[in-house]
Structure 1
Amino acid sequence: MHLPASPAEEAVAAGLDAVRPALGPSYEAALPGARAAVLTRLWRALAFEPLPWVVGRERGPGGLALRLAGGGRLEGPPPDPYATEPYVDELLLDGRPHRQAARLVAALGVPHGEEFTAELDGSTASLALSRAGQPPAGRDGAPRSTWEWEQRVVDGHPYHPNCRSRPGFSVAEQLAYAPEHRPVVELGLVAVRAEECLVTDGWPAELRDGGRILVPVHPWQAAHALKHERVRGSFAAHPLMALRTLAPAAGGAHVKTALSTRLTSSVRDISVYSIETAAAVSAFAQSLSERLDGRLHVTRTLGAATAHSPDLAAVLREPPEVFADAAAGERVLPVGALGAFPPARSAAWRAEFARLALEVCLRVLELGVALEAHGQNLLLVLSATDAPVRLVYRDLADIRISPARLVRHGLPVPPLSGRLVTDDVTVLRRKLFGSLLTGALGATAGSAAAFAEALSEAAGLPPTADTEALLTDPLPTKALTLMRLSPGIQGDQWAELPHPAAGG
């Protein structure tokens, strides 16, 4: 059935006509699959998140029906909270079929739904553009570097309906900056007087100019958020999964830039707090990783600077490739790219990976640190035979540290305060379980049944209260749609997913 194009879908088609008309037919062909992918993600949210206007859920052999405030009824197939392949082509609202996520949310008329509707529309159109821009099958060589693997993540977040939402990006800018389109990006430099900056001691000499600090700036940020700033110089870099983090083409430290637009859920600036704590958190993480027998490496923060503004800041980070022995044939892949890694289709391989990830990350939690170990932050070192060897973790900006647990294990408590520090068991478990379990491992498995098989590896772990909770309790996941529909509530909100061992 032919569906009329939505406003965002029409806008992308018009943009392609102007800048890349040859992609037009591929984009049109990609739209049905993109619509199903976003609708599948939205159905997961509607089925499991504590949305206040969903007043009841009726499960039956034929699927799930939601009773809505006001008397409406929304029906769809049995939901799989861990599925990554699209399986929802349409949902029935009071018997009327809906095949586009944005139009469904508009029809639902939910509070604060206007902005979310536009984001869903943009996510669908951008996802179709991302898929349309891929090389033809058989003409895409095997990735050789970590950044090439990162750029194989075409569909973005595996569970967020806004998986490819990029408001403020034109079609030309998506093609020029988005990692899945495999561009080379020219990062600019903004000179700021040193006395106007907060900067770590490790800021390199090549990014200083006398009494000025040279802050790397993403070209989108330079054009849209820093119009009054004088950008000078540039260097070429490859965008990574995070889009705003790039690997310089000449090698060296990865550069995390500020990007003041909402990508997926969050505005991607860099807080002053993150710069203030960067050096202390990095040093602490290095000392902690030494307790893991070489099975976990944490990329060091090599420098951080801000002009006391989240819009003009940058972090320099050690590249994860330094932890692989290239001479021995080792390589590093981000966990989010495992969907494009053929060995990960094997149940035995997934079990081996799950065992490593669970052992290491639960041990770190027991010691006192909850990692945000989703598929973007967590990387895997593979042997020459593609066996999982050890883990690499990057981006320390949103971990959680428990002073009480550190003291219990005789570890020094870092000189930190603020949001990174908590002894709340629920907060700690949500941080790790919601990223590693319902994020990285669930998405790698791709279904509740496959995830249950991989998660069975936890049964052999040392018995702790955290392990017991992992094996028996419902699993936490960020309520991403609820968060987008709750503009007055700060911070994360959560949902509970059925434990995959209980049948998903």
Structure 2
Amino acid sequence: MHRPPDAEAAAASMAAELAAVRPDLLPRFTAELPGARAAVLTRLWRGLVHDPMPWVERREPGREGLTLRLADGRALHGPASDPYATDAYVTGVLLDGVAYDDPALLARALAVPHAAALAAEVDHSAASLALSRANRLVCDGDVPVSDWEWERRVVDGHPYHPNCRSRPGFTVADQLAYAPEHGPVVELRLVPVPAEQCLVSGHWPAPLRDGGRTLIPVHPWQAAHVLKQQGGPGPAARPLMSLRTLALPDGPHVKTALSARLTSSVRDISVGSITASAALSAFGEGLAARSEGLLHVTRTLGAVTADSPDLAAMLRESPAVYAGPGERVVPVAALGLTGLPRDPAWLAELARLALTVGLRLLERGVALEAHGQNLLVVLSPTGAPLRLVYRDLADIRVSPARAARGGLPLPEGMPQRILTDDVTALRRKLFGSLVAGALAATAGSGRALGTALAAVVRDLPRTSDLAALTAEPVPTKALTLMRLSPGAPGDRWTALPNPLADTPF
């Protein structure tokens, strides 16, 4: 494999830090690096194969894999790509006959616009993934009790993004102290702001008020690196998958501003999100009331900002409040850890529940961003999927025209950016997150996903949206292309082969 002297920049840097802060992890970190690189390389290869890269002229399937013909005359060869697969099946690719097993080296060798920046990101992603795997929790068959315990077990991050564990700006010590998979307790800070300088939506609780001041919970990384003030001591909390959202000891979750780039985005909280939070929360309650008992939407209890996306917080219900006796509420991203998806009948029942809810809401004008982090499943004591729980309405899309036809009232204060009657945008939002995201990652392969979908789509109401889902390519975000297009605003999209194409139904 081609490996120049500076090939392991991120790994070497993390190893040096580990030697100082956690030398006991160093041998395991080193042992995990090859597998972590293969996992990130698999995600990168998926993007190169399926995203509409302007410098890929054609893709040539063959008996021994797939060849990408580049505009500069070079050839990139690798295995046939299942865009829905979650195992790390790509251990090396050939670029003009030179073998690469490191995603950062491959990205750099491609030498396309912005490839150097992508190389640095995937280099950090692979090294961080090795760190996460080195310190992974040994479960020994125990079943999590608290919601944060489920979320800390999702070690590998985004199932399809090459930046699945990219956390630039975070040192090794930061990752160990704040990342959920490492199991830390995070001591939040409370920054006091004069009440008249704050915008509050909903109810802000008395324990977070101090006379004429409002106490805003702040992530300690944000306090130290962005706000440059420590504030006062706050509650100890457990980080969830999003890292900036944490479970408080008394139950609610607190979403904090965290101005660090995680995967692809900088995670602040806009003033507009605070303003709209009460209206969106009420809208979510209305959606749940119309779901015939199949959907819960977590409520936003209160939100506050000091007129800054860097100093804001939201308090939300824990999804666990929607579990009955003996039931469990599990994020879809963690379902693979239960062993349940290995049963095709169980997977089909999950698909039935998710598509029933998602398509019903879409027909009424609401497209959920139902990826594995936002979407949770209420499981019976025997593991049967009973109901869904959805959290974080900030990125849904709502069609005023469809809502009006379906008798769904839209409250005042709905953000304009989520309103659209564009059917393509609506279907992209739901199908890209639910089918190409949550269900695909749970199934783990295109074949398993197709089998699960085929078992249920014939029983669903025959709407135009269902017709599109069964007959057209499946939309999904072009995650790798987006990282190679830093000047292009908004999301970029691609279309994946329909998993039902080879599955009779």
State the 1:46 CA deviation: 0.3
Provide, for residues 33-86 of structure 1, a one-character-per-residue CA deviation record: whole Å limited to 9, x for no partner.
000000000000000001111111111121111111211110000000000000
In structure 1, how many angstroms separate the alpha carbons of the residues matched to 2:20 and 2:415?
A: 51
Aligned to 1:358: 355
- SS of corresponding position for 2:320: helix
Structure 1, unaligned runs of 5 or more? none
Match of 2:449 among 448, 451, 454: 451
TM-score by length of 2: 0.97
* CA deviation map 1:146-175 (0-9, x unaligned): 210111100000000000000000001100
- Distance in 1 between residues matched to 2:428 and 2:264, nearest whole Å: 18
Q: 1:78 aligns with which of 77, 80, 84?
A: 80
SS of corresponding position for 1:144: coil
Distance, in Å, in 2 between the alignment partners of 1:96 and 1:502 is: 35
Post-superposition shift, 1:136? 4.7
Pair 1:122-2:120 in alignment: no
Q: Does 1:425 align with 2:423?
A: yes
CA shift, 1:2, in A, is 11
How far, CA to CA, are the matches of 1:201 and 1:195 in structure 2?
16
Larger deviation: 3-12 or 286-295?
3-12
TM-score between the two structures when normalised by the length of structure 1: 0.97
Structure 1 residue 343 and structure 2 residue 337: aligned?
A: no
Secondary structure of the 1:379 match is strand
Map residues 70-469 of structure 1 onto 2, 5 A cutoff. Answer: 70-136=72-138, 138=140, 141-227=142-228, 229-248=229-248, 250-325=249-324, 328-415=325-412, 416-456=414-454, 457-469=456-468
Structure 1 pair 251/289, CA: closer, same or farther in 2 (3 Å)?
Answer: same
Letter in 2 for 1:203: W
Q: Matched residues in 2 for 1:376 and 1:135: separation?
A: 19
- Does the alignment pair 1:63 with 2:76? no
Preserved contact between residue 124 and residue 167 of structure 2 (Cα < 8 Å): yes
Q: What displacement does 1:414 show?
A: 2.0
Offset at residue 294 of structure 1 (A): 1.0
CA distance in 2, matches of 1:452, 1:201: 43
> Aligned with 1:419: secondary structure?
helix
- Tell me the amino acid that sits aligned with residue 231 of structure 1: G
1:153 and 1:135 map into 2 onto residues whose CA distance is 10
For the 8 Å contact 2:188–2:236, the answer to whether it is kept is yes
Structure 1 residues 84-140: Cα deviation after superposition (integer angstroms, max 9, x where no partner): 0000000100010001001101000110122211110000000000000024574x7
SS at match of 2:68: strand
Contact 2:154-2:334 at 8 Å conserved across structures: yes
What is the percentage of aligned positions where both structures have the same residue? 65
Equivalences for residues 9-48 of structure 1 within 5 A? 9-48=11-50
Question: How large is the RMSD of aligned CA atoms in angstroms?
Answer: 1.4
3-state SS, counterpart of residue 160 of structure 2: coil
Deviations 1:377-421 (A, max 9, x none): 000001111100000000111111111111101121222242111
Following TM superposition, by how much is the alpha carbon of 1:142 offset from its aligned partner in structure 2, in angstroms?
Answer: 2.8
Distance 2:497 2:151 in 1: 30
| CA distance in structure 2 between the aligned counterparts of 1:16 and 1:399, rounded to whole angstroms | 40
**Deviation beyond 3 Å, 4+ runs, structure 1:** 1-5, 135-138
Amino acid at match of 1:312: L
Letter of the aligned partner of 1:266 in structure 2? S
The letter of the residue matching 2:91 is: D
Instruction: Classify the secondary structure of the residue corresponding to 1:460.
Output: coil
The one-letter amino acid of 1:116's match is L
Q: How many angstroms apart in 2 are the aligned matches of 1:443 and 1:21? A: 34
Distance between the aligned counterparts of 2:274 and 2:415, measured in 1? 13
3-state SS, counterpart of residue 502 of structure 1? coil
Whether 1:479 aligns to 2:481 is no
C-alpha separation in 2, matches of 1:89 and 1:39: 7
Report if aligned partners of 1:459, 1:471 keep a CA contact under 8 Å in 2.
Answer: no
Q: Which amino acid aligns with 1:252?
A: G
Q: Is the 8 A contact 1:448 1:503 kept in 2?
A: no
Q: What is aligned with 1:470?
A: 469
**Change in 2 beyond 3 A, CA 1:137/1:378:** closer
Deviates more, 1:344-353 or 1:117-126: 344-353
2:34 partner letter: P
The letter of the residue matching 2:133 is: R
Q: CA deviation at 1:252?
A: 2.6
Cα distance in 2, alignment partners of residues 214 and 137 from structure 1: 37
Determine the C-alpha separation between the residues in 1 that align with 2:441 and 2:262: 20
**Residue 169 of structure 1: SS of its match in structure 2?**
coil
- Give distance in 1, aligned partners of 2:172 and 2:139: 23
CA distance 1:233–1:21, change in 2 (3 Å): same
Secondary structure class of the residue paired with 2:309 = coil
Give the distance between the partners of 1:22 and 1:440, measured in 2 at CA.
35
Distance, in Å, in 2 between the alignment partners of 1:151 and 1:17 is 24
The one-letter amino acid paired with 2:439 is L
The CA distance in 2 between the partners of 1:330 and 1:2, in whole Å, is 51
Deviation at 1:141, TM superposition (A): 3.3
2:347–2:452 Cα contact (<8 Å) kept: yes
Q: Distance in 2 between matches of 1:203 and 1:357?
A: 33
